[in-house]
Structures are given as structure tokens and as C-alpha cells.
Chain A
């Protein structure tokens, strides 16, 4: 990407980036890949998020599942670290808590591959700015 020269440049860039598959905005298109976001703030890492992320990356690779694994900041559920968010194509994002490697395996096997929910889902307990505006 080159330099941003003006506001319209930035707006154009935003449109382009939004349509990039790695982003949440385009969920709902079944042809897309599985997305996994791992919360990776200092506290998440202290609870083992790095091991979880490494495991997920390897395991998805081993099972030849086409997926994008990224890291992100604190999701706020400190009591349940490590936390991950999984977005299956065409589905609402689901957050799982206490994801050690064992739980990660279960999530990959049952949820990502089988489409079956597993215990330990964390319901989203907050509104986003967009939710709030809709009221």
C-alpha cells in the first residue's frame, strides 16, 4: 500500500480493505474460509494463549482445513483466558473460553469440522457501537 494522500484515498482504501476476506464484515459468504482469532494481550499470553495459537495453527494445517488464524487484543473475559473467537463461513462468530490445547482440539474436531457446538461458549455480554445505534 502506498501513502495516503487524502481523505478520499483513505475512504477508497477502507472499502478495499473491508472486502478483504480476512475481515469480519464479509462473513456470511459460505465460500470463505474459517477464521480463528486468538486473544493475545499480556494476560492471555500468561494464561497460555501462545501455546493455544501454535496448536491451532498446526492442527488446522495437519487436518488441511483452510483457515485464517490471527491474533487480537483483550476480549475482556479475563476469567476465562485463553479465549478465542471462531467464525465459520456463514455463521455468527462464537467465542470460546478456557481454550487450552485439549479444548482447542475439541473445538477443531467438533465445531470447525463438525459444526457442532461444544461446552464453554462465552456469550457476548456487551453491545458494540453499531448495536447501540440501532436502538
Chain B
């Protein structure tokens, strides 16, 4: 079928292109022509291989030879040796860092792939609206297995041994959570799926629900069997219409097949699932607030204890888990606790899905084993920083998390390490920032979000965050003082210590962590009244370089507030008191005479 005998794949991802992969392509084509192979060999540009550190990368098909650090000068040798004589070019092969052996084909170098898809195993493979495809991919086998062959205690035991922890952010051991709900005696219990994903920039749960809804249904039924619940509820925000539609289709299909409903698999276990819609309030991701919202009450948290495992939905024992947590459960049951526990770090097992966004080349949904470093995530999988700029910080954990910097890049990602570094795992949003981002503005952005999303029940969160925001705003306006920095830290800590729920207890984190890691930048704002990244509008000055200005008067004519004055053919000047920093003058200047300070 294939027209060409060989194909040469050259990485044209941003990282490799920056190291001249396009010249490699051109040289390869020329060399192929010179050798008269143009009808046999095709050169194809590909997207990123996720191994940028070793780039530029060239892969030979069909024999899967993987060449690393290829330079344009290597092209002719690759053609004359590999393609003409069929001999591999040894010096360009990848060397296994452990065995120091050259790896000849990429089939034996699975390890170069930094990602393992467990929670996302079916996303992008199965048709989410067809239960048959899910079943063909081992779907509902785990549910069948536990109902026919295992006791609830045995299942909980597997989960405990697997080391699975809650993927919503807190990292509570899942097996233990199930056991707590199981132990409470009640006539009715509930299983809840928390699909109220609200962190800015996070879309892990939505992708799982849209790509593989049945896995969540199956895991909830497994949870029902273990905890003794017959009813499941998925709390999902109405802002996710496609996920809702696919869940509805999935629930209908599962009922039709008898995989939800009465006497599942011919046993006396009955379980059904309903959807509950949220209006998109961030605080409803907190489990007590979520439960109140489902009950039709205001989405406000209440003090724990009592924990939902004792008194949750309608006062009954309720087990709440996040979407991604559920997505791991069926695989763990089928593959075993040891298998799962073999992936990850000592205290954080398995993988974590991250929504990688911000100033990174390969924005995407990724799943990496716990223990992967931020450097691997950002520079290999993410393909580095956009536009070749310098990495500045990465924000994890959303509005509850913090900013990590250069010095944290080599820390293995897991629950405990991230907390020790002043951030947190969170649900998996990861926003990369470059040298152009002002950290005070970043902290202000997250605070703005928290102020908006605070439910208003407790004073520290309602009033404290508002005050924090105001102080930050003053600083970005250039009106802050050093005393403000002291206030920020003090108030931030008070809010953390005294707020009722997780939202308030973590909301000062973006401020505190940026102060910790970028104190100089805060100081520059309050002492020198300068924004080092040039982001804070109030602190910018448009200035005309008198040497470059020819006095064409164009800037004076476009200025909407008449802040620019000067004689014709003489250098002009901007009156800083009048200037509104709209940038129109700089845009129009044909001589590049206007710059920002």
C-alpha cells in the first residue's frame, strides 16, 4: 500500500525547529535526490516527539531507528549510510543512560516516552458515545469481577494497597475514604462524583468525561458495592454541556445493558446514577458545599466533622471522589494493586493528569507518572517556552496553589514535594509563565478569582481576600509601600489560619508563594515604582528617544489626549502626567523612537 519504501520523519516541533530541523529536512531532500532515491524515500515533518532535550530528532521508518541531536551536516551521512547502505549511524543513536548501550530502534526505547496513560487510557481511542467500544476495551470487566468474585473488603484492600490518593487536590487515600463510608451503618448511602472542575485553565475532568464517560460510571458502581450505596450522583457544572450530553448517553446505554439498575450481573447488587447540575461556583468543588448545592441549598461549606462519610447528602453517609480518581479505579482492580503501586513515588502512586497551559509550546492534556520533574513536563513534553523566552515560574494547584520557580524544576512531582515547595498538586492545572509575566499581577489575577468565588460565609475569606486584592491593586498602581508587603503577608497568614473551608484556607497561597519566590519584584513595585516585566500599566512610561525622533509629528497627531508636544522636525516629548499609556504613539512611530520604560 505504501508508495515509498522508506520514510524519514523529522521533528518540526518548535523546539527542534529552533535547532535547525528545517535545514535538516532540506539537506535530507537534497541528499536523497543526489542518490537518486526520490522515488523510494519520503521526508516528512512531524509534530513534537516529546523528547526535546535530545532534539533535533530524526526517525527512520519502517525500521523505527531513532536518531538524536541530529545536525544539518549529518543529513548526507544519514542518507548514504542508513538509506543507501542500510547501516545505522552509530554516533547519532540514543544512548541508554543506565546501561550506556546504544538503542537501535524506538520499539525498545519506550522509556523515552515520559507519559503513561492510565486515567486517560481510553480518551482519544474509544467512541465515548458507544458502550460497545468501552466493553471491547475491558470496560465493566472490573465491575463484573468484583460482583462475582470479591467481597467489598477485598476491593477496598486492593485500593488501599495500590496507594491511590484523591486526584481532586487533597490527596486523601481513596481506599481509606471508601472504608470510612462502608463502616457507617445506614439505611441509605450515596456515592458522589465531583465533576465541579473550576480551576482557571484546568480541563482534566472534562476531558475524561467527554472522552470516556463509562469508566466513571463503572468506578462509581464499584464504589457503591464497596460502601453499600445503591445510588450515585454526578455533580457536574452546567458549563460542561458536551460532558453532560455524553454522560446522559452513557447512563442510558449502561441501563439498557443492565450494567446500571437492578440486580447487576445477576447479583443482588443494584445501583443507579443520576446527574446533578452546578451553576459553576468554584466553592462547590469543596465536598460539603457540593453536597449542600445538590440538596438545593446555597453552595456553602460547613464545618467538618461531621465528614460526609458520616453525614453527607440528605444526612446520609456519602462518599465523594473526583472524576480522575474514579478513572483510575477499574484499571487498578483489573491490573492489581502491585502493578499500580509500581508506578510513581514512595508516597504518591500512579500517574497524574495535568492540563498544561500558558507560555509553553505544546499546550496539552498530559498524564505523567508521579515523580516526573517539572523540567521534564515543561521542557520535554511541553516543548519549552514559547518564542524562545526564558522560563520564569509555573503555577500549580490553581487559585489554591502557588508559583514554583527555576529552583524547583528538578523536584519530582508528587503531593508531598509540591506542598513542601510552597504549592500543591491541586486538581492538575499547570500554567507556565515566562519572563514577560509580572508576578504581582499573577497573584492579583488569582485573588480576583477567589474574591469573585468566595461564598461569603466566613469573614476571613469574604473580607480578608477583598483586602488582599485591594493591597495588590495598590501595588500594581505604583502606590504601594513596603508596609503593604508586611500587611500582605500578615493578612494572608491570618486568612489561611482562620477560614472555614479549603477555599479560604488556601486562597492566599498565590500571594504568599510569589512573595516568597519573587520578593525582589514586589520590592521593585513598591520602592522603585517599577514593574520589571513591564506588565503593570500604571508603572510604565512611554518615552521618546530624542536621538531617533525626526519630529514627523505623527505621534502627536494620533495621541488621543494631546500628551505629546514638540516642534516640527525637532524631537518630541511625552507629558507623563497627561499620558494614558494607550500605546498608540509607539504603534504609529515609523522610526522606532518610542520605547517603554
Name A residues whose Cβ lies closer than 8 Å to a Cβ of B.
1, 3-7, 9-11, 13-14, 17-18, 20, 22-25, 30, 37, 39-43, 45, 70-80, 85, 88-91, 97, 114-129, 131-135
Contact = CB atoms under 8 A, between A and B. Distances in A.
Contacts of B127: 37, 70-72
B120 interface: yes
Interface in B181-229: 203, 206-208, 210-212
B61 to A, nearest CB: 8
B266 A6 contact: yes
B116 A122 contact: no
Interface stretch (B46-54, B304-312, B497-505): B46-54
A20 to B, nearest CB: 7
Contacts of A71: 127-129
Nearest to B59: A123
A132 B343 CA distance: 10
Given A41-B211, A73-B122, A120 B45 contact: yes
B210 A42 contact: yes
A30 to B, nearest CB: 8
12 contacts: A5-B265, A24-B125, A41-B210, A42-B206, A73-B123, A73-B207, A73-B210, A78-B363, A123-B47, A129-B331, A132-B116, A135-B110
Interface of B: 1-4, 7, 9, 11-12, 42, 44-51, 59, 110-111, 113-118, 120-130, 132-133, 135-136, 138, 140-141, 144-145, 147-149, 203, 206-208, 210-212, 240, 242-243, 256-259, 265-266, 331, 335, 339, 343, 361-367, 381
B506 to A, nearest CB: 27
A115 B211 contact: no
A104 B510 CA distance: 43
A13 B135 contact: yes
Contacts of B362: 77, 79
A21 to B, nearest CB: 11
Contacts of A119: 12, 44-46
B364 to A, nearest CB: 5
Contacts of B59: 123
Contacts of A39: 124
Contacts of A127: 110, 113, 115-117
A124 B364 CA distance: 13
B121 A17 contact: no
Nearest to B258: A3
Contact of B9 (A40, A121, A125, A131): A121
Contact of B47 (A43, A116, A121): A121
Contact of A125 (B4, B258, B381): B381
A134 to B, nearest CB: 8
Nearest to B113: A127
B545 to A, nearest CB: 38
Nearest to B208: A73
Contact of A45 (B115, B122, B242, B343): B242
Contacts of A30: 1
Nearest to B115: A126
Given A73-B124, A78-B365, A120-B46, 19 more contacts: A1-B132, A1-B257, A3-B258, A7-B265, A9-B265, A10-B135, A10-B140, A14-B135, A17-B132, A20-B132, A37-B127, A72-B127, A73-B207, A77-B362, A78-B364, A120-B47, A121-B9, A125-B49, A125-B113
A72 B136 CA distance: 15
Contacts of B140: 4, 10
Contacts of B207: 41, 73-74
Contacts of B121: 128-129
A83 B49 CA distance: 16
Given A4-B258, A73-B124, A126 B3 contact: no
A114 to B, nearest CB: 6
Which interface residue of A70, A74, A78, A129 has the most chain B CB atoms within 10 A? A74
| 10 tightest A-B CB contacts, nearest first | A73-B211, A125-B50, A3-B258, A126-B115, A75-B124, A7-B144, A122-B47, A17-B136, A74-B207, A119-B45
A112 B345 CA distance: 43
Contacts of B42: 116-117
Contacts of B265: 4-7, 9-10
Contacts of A116: 2-4, 42
Nearest to B4: A116
A131 B212 CA distance: 20
Contact of A121 (B46, B133, B145): B46
Contacts of A18: 136
Contacts of B1: 30, 88-91, 115
Contacts of B367: 76, 126
B141 A14 contact: yes
A35 to B, nearest CB: 11
Contact of B210 (A17, A24, A74): A74
B48 A25 contact: no
A20 B136 contact: yes
